[in-house]
A and B are shown apart, each in its own frame.
Chain A
Amino acid sequence: MDYNQTFAKEVYEKVDSGDEIKVCMQCGVCGATCPLRGEMKYGPRQIWSLIRAGRRDEVLNNPDIMLCTSCYTCQVRCPRGVPIMEVMHGLAHYALAQGIVPRAETAKFGKAFWEGIYDTGRVDEAVVPIKYCLQDGLVAGLKKSLGMMDIGLALMKAKRMKPKMFIPPNIFIPGVHKIKGVKQLQRMLDKAAAIDAAKEA
């Protein structure tokens, strides 16, 4: 395998926690402990190897980089102390920032989740699914939310969700709770975004 350091350098400099993979010794404990390794083409060890080999497109388009459940098992067991989960999140975030979507549904859900945080300061578990579904458009979104209706109804019956789930569009939903300091929070998040955008550019 030819080694081309261009992409590795890009990862070390621009991906959150990316430089941490330098100490990986390719032992494979990460993949062996991953709960979803059986669903992946490559585990973390092989992805690091592809990075070192300069296979940029193969890494950033790989759906495996966005299948992390954030369980920290690999990170705890890595004998070299690589924060594997953080690197995996960093790679997925970096791919998304380049306009690449390694996993469409998780990307849409994550976007809805983040928008909830940014717009109100907290996440409303009844609103996020609506925002998630409506990214498919109104008709497809309604169909998708109908497909989730059994779960929504079960939660409503158990008084664990207020009946907002099936009332699109979400902007008309009453009672969405905003924290008092939401404007200040947004200013903070904007400032933080500018710092990381400069790094990723």
Chain B
Amino acid sequence: MDYFLYYGCSLEGGGVHYMISTEAVAKALGINFHEIEDWNCCGASIAYIGGNEMQSIVLNARNLALAEAQGGYDIVAPCSSCYIMLNKVNRELQAHPKLMAQVNEILAEGGLKYSGQIRVRHILDLLYHDVGVEKIKAAVKKPLTGVKVAAYYGCQTTRPFGEYDSCENPHTQDDILAALGAEVVEFGHRVKCCGSGIFLTEIDKCAYLVKDIIESAAAGGAQIISTACPMCQMNLEIYQQRVNAITGANLNMPVVFVTQLMALAFGGDKDGAAALNRLVVPSGPALQAVGA
């Protein structure tokens, strides 16, 4: 199984534990990831502030053109924002030949051309639909028995297209976590927004979003939250003390990537393949049942 892994800027920084665990999971499942050589940033959801619509399109078209020239594999984005930006632009270009022609005139500045052959996927799509729950179950060496986890999707993991999972009631991450042997709890805020790219600059308002999500997961019985988006992971995890100060809450909830839990269940080292040492809120009692 060959794919491009579109790392995105987060996986080189605050989401490095996503990258480490994703690579470990790929190895265990026989997924062969290639890097798009010289990829650039997707622009994320706040590109509109400094850039305009055509610039956003061009940023993503360049990556699509590079992928097409370098082998044409499906692009898999672990970051939900990267996934949406690449996917949105890809769909626009595929649907509008006039826009494609205009964009190709611009790409020619870098000697590039895109013809619309690339498919953009989220990593949950790859894991659920291409790998499949049965194969994931078969790779488990250390089942996550007794781990009470909330599968948090947030926004851009499934919205707006709902291509591989439901926008309103997604299940792919729940099913993957269940395949690892974990106890997946029910909670109301699984597709609510964490504040995304404006969290930091509008923290007085967004703090309540994070408070509600974490408290909802805790009320469902979760001891740990799993996500498949670096923005969600960061907003839910690293600002908890600030959120407590602003809202009067008492949050202390570990938040990990789904791939970290997979790497752990596949027998990976907790601080190696599972990169649990990269957490700001330690996993603590949540993973004690499995010795991590």
Please list the residues of chain A having a beta carbon within 8 angstroms of any beta carbon in chain B.
16-17, 35-36, 39, 67-73, 75-76, 85, 89-90, 92-93, 96-97, 103, 105-111, 113-118, 121-126, 150-151, 154-155, 157-161, 177, 179-181, 184-185, 187-189, 191-193, 195-197, 200
Which of A73, A97, A106, A155 has a CB less than 8 Å from the CB of B159? Answer: A73
Please list the residues of chain B having a beta carbon within 8 angstroms of any beta carbon in chain A.
9-10, 12-17, 38-41, 43-55, 57-59, 62, 84, 102, 105-107, 109-111, 154-156, 159-160, 162, 167-168, 192-202, 205-206, 209, 238-239, 241-242, 277-280
In the complex the two chains form, is A110's CB within 8 Å of B49's CB? Answer: yes
In the complex the two chains form, is B47's CB within 8 Å of A90's CB? Answer: no
**CB within 8 Å for A35 and B193 given contacts A115-B50, A187-B109, A192-B52:** yes
Residues of B within 8 A of A184 (CB): 109-111
Q: Please, how many angstroms separate the alpha-carbon atoms of A154 and B239 in the complex?
A: 10
7 A-B contacts (beta carbon < 8 Å) = A71-B159, A121-B41, A157-B280, A180-B38, A188-B106, A188-B110, A192-B58
Given A92-B48, A159-B16, A191-B58, 7 new contacts (CB under 8 A) = A103-B201, A107-B49, A113-B49, A151-B239, A158-B277, A159-B278, A192-B106
In the complex the two chains form, is B38's CB within 8 Å of A114's CB? Answer: no
**CB within 8 Å for A122 and B9 given contacts A16-B53, A69-B206:** yes
Which of B15, B59, B155, B192 has a CB less than 8 Å from the CB of A70? Answer: B155
**CB within 8 Å for A113 and B50 given contacts A69-B193, A188-B109:** yes
In the complex the two chains form, is A106's CB within 8 Å of B49's CB? Answer: yes
**CB within 8 Å for A71 and B48 given contacts A122-B9, A185-B62:** no
Which of A70, A111, A118, A123 has a CB less than 8 Å from the CB of B9? Answer: A123
**CB within 8 Å for A195 and B16 given contacts A69-B195, A117-B47, A185-B40:** no
**CB within 8 Å for A71 and B202 given contacts A158-B279, A191-B109, A193-B52:** no
Which of A67, A96, A114 has a CB less than 8 Å from the CB of B198? Answer: A67
In the complex the two chains form, is B50's CB within 8 Å of A69's CB? Answer: no
Residues of A within 8 A of B53 (CB): 16-17, 90, 93, 196
Interface SS of A by simple majority? helix
Q: How far is the CB of B2 from chain A (nearest CB, A)?
A: 23
Residues of A within 8 A of B57 (CB): 192
Q: Please, how many angstroms separate the alpha-carbon atoms of A75 and B159 in the complex?
A: 9
Residues of A within 8 A of B205 (CB): 36, 39, 67
In the complex the two chains form, is A187's CB within 8 Å of B110's CB? Answer: yes
In the complex the two chains form, is B202's CB within 8 Å of A75's CB? Answer: no
Residues of A within 8 A of B199 (CB): 69
In the complex the two chains form, is B49's CB within 8 Å of A191's CB? Answer: no
**CB within 8 Å for A185 and B48 given contacts A69-B198, A179-B39:** no
**CB within 8 Å for A75 and B160 given contacts A161-B13, A181-B38:** yes
Residues of A within 8 A of B194 (CB): 69
Q: Please, how many angstroms separate the alpha-carbon atoms of A168 and B228 in the complex?
A: 33
Which of A70, A103, A118 has a CB less than 8 Å from the CB of B202? Answer: A103
In the complex the two chains form, is B192's CB within 8 Å of A35's CB? Answer: yes
In the complex the two chains form, is B48's CB within 8 Å of A117's CB? Answer: no
Q: How far is the CB of A33 from chain B (nearest CB, A)?
A: 10
**CB within 8 Å for A71 and B38 given contacts A93-B49, A122-B12:** no
Which of B38, B102, B111, B196 has a CB less than 8 Å from the CB of A179? Answer: B38
Residues of A within 8 A of B239 (CB): 151
Residues of A within 8 A of B242 (CB): 151
In the complex the two chains form, is B52's CB within 8 Å of A160's CB? Answer: no
In the complex the two chains form, is B44's CB within 8 Å of A113's CB? Answer: yes
Q: Please, how many angstroms separate the alpha-carbon atoms of A165 and B238 in the complex?
A: 16
Q: How far is the CB of B22 from chain A (nearest CB, A)?
A: 15
